[in-house]
């Protein structure tokens, strides 16, 4: 976890382009992998569950959610992908989830077979892919732990801290996702998420500056998570 004070450095918000990548580059320092930029509007589907997993994607700007529709019609969000993140890797030949743009979003697309070819020739690309697979596994494990937390307050506080760190580890966070998205990720109702955010504000753990703009008081938030 980060230090308890609010960082003064600029915050890379969800609509900002990913840092450290040349235009068209898919991996930093790998000119052999050049992606095709594609834009998606809010709530537009990028790929659907069961479709052929032909491409891998990197978020350039905006944000993406992956989700499944359960048998009873409920939506379970399985992940949020922010600028710089890769998504669309699959163990099999088809996608196991839907992927949708949360807001106006630009992604870079590269064919899976092209990545496999370059990874077979360049060790640094293979190592990078291994690191991404390990990161995704860690995030999936963290999500399972988050769903297992006893209270809604613990879940929401832990989620906000994690998103803040992913967006630059600053105290001021511009959330790209809606409260409905947060609810479907945490296994809570929309009403519970709204009520919990108000409770966190009442306890001095955060300040709201708009529907999706929050300032986190990290020390207080972290104590709620660790209690």
pLDDT at residue 170 tops 70: no
Whether this prediction's pTM lies above 0.75 is answered by yes
> Residues of 105-118 as b/e, b for ≥16 C-beta within 10 angstroms?
bbbbbbebebbeeb
pLDDT at residue 8 tops 60: no
Q: What does the domain layout of the chain look like in residue ranges?
A: 36-144, 150-226
In the CATH scheme, what architecture does the domain 150-226 have?
Orthogonal Bundle (1.10)
pLDDT at residue 224 tops 50: yes
- Mean pLDDT, residues 10-15: 34
Per-residue HEC secondary structure of the chain comes to CCCCCCCCCCCCCCCCCCCCCCCCECCCCCCCCECEEEEECCCCEEECCCCECCEEEEEEECCEEEEEECCCCCEEEEEEECCCCEECCCCCCECCCEEEECCCEEEEEEEHHHHHHHHHHCHHHHHHHHHHHHHHHHHHHHHHHHHCCCCHHHHHHHHHHHHHHHCCCCCEEECCCCHHHHHHHHCCCHHHHHHHHHHHHHCCCEEECCCCEEEECHHHHHHHHHC
- Mean pLDDT, residues 40-62: 94
pLDDT at residue 101 tops 90: yes
Taking all residues of the chain, what is their mean pLDDT, rounded to a whole number?
Answer: 82
In the CATH scheme, what architecture does the domain 36-144 have?
Sandwich (2.60)
Q: Is 65 exposed, middle or buried (0-12, 13-18, 19+ CB in 10 A)?
A: buried
**pLDDT tens, position by position, 179-214:** 999 999 999 999 999 999 999 999 999 998 877 889
Between 190 and 141, where is the model more confident? 190
> What's the pLDDT score for residue 24?
56
**pLDDT tens, position by position, 102-119:** 999 999 998 988 888 888
Identify the band that residue 128 occupies on the pLDDT scale cut at 50, 70 and 90. confident
């Amino acid at each position: 976890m980060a230090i308890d004070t609010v960082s003064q450095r600029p915050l890379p918000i969800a609509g900002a382009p990913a840092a450290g990548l040349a235009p068209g580059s898919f991996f930093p320092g790998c000119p052999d992998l050049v992606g095709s930029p594609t834009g998606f509007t809010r709530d537009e589907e990028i790929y659907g569950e069961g479709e052929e997993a032909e491409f891998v994607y990197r978020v350039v700007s905006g944000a993406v959610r992956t989700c499944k529709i359960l048998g009873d019609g409920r939506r379970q969000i399985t992940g949020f992908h922010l600028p710089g993140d890769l998504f669309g890797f699959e163990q099999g030949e088809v996608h196991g989830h839907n992927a949708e743009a949360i807001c106006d979003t630009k992604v870079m697309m590269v064919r899976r077979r092209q990545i496999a070819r370059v990874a077979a020739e360049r060790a640094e690309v293979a190592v990078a892919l291994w690191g991404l697979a390990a990161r995704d596994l860690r995030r999936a494990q963290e999500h399972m732990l988050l769903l297992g937390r006893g209270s809604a307050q613990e879940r929401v506080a832990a989620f906000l801290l994690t998103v803040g760190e992913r967006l630059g580890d600053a105290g001021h966070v511009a959330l790209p996702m809606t409260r409905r998205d947060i609810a479907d990720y945490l296994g809570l109702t929309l009403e519970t998420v709204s009520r919990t955010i108000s409770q966190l504000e009442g306890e001095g753990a955060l300040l709201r500056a708009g529907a999706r703009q929050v300032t986190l008081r990290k020390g207080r938030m972290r104590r709620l998570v660790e209690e």
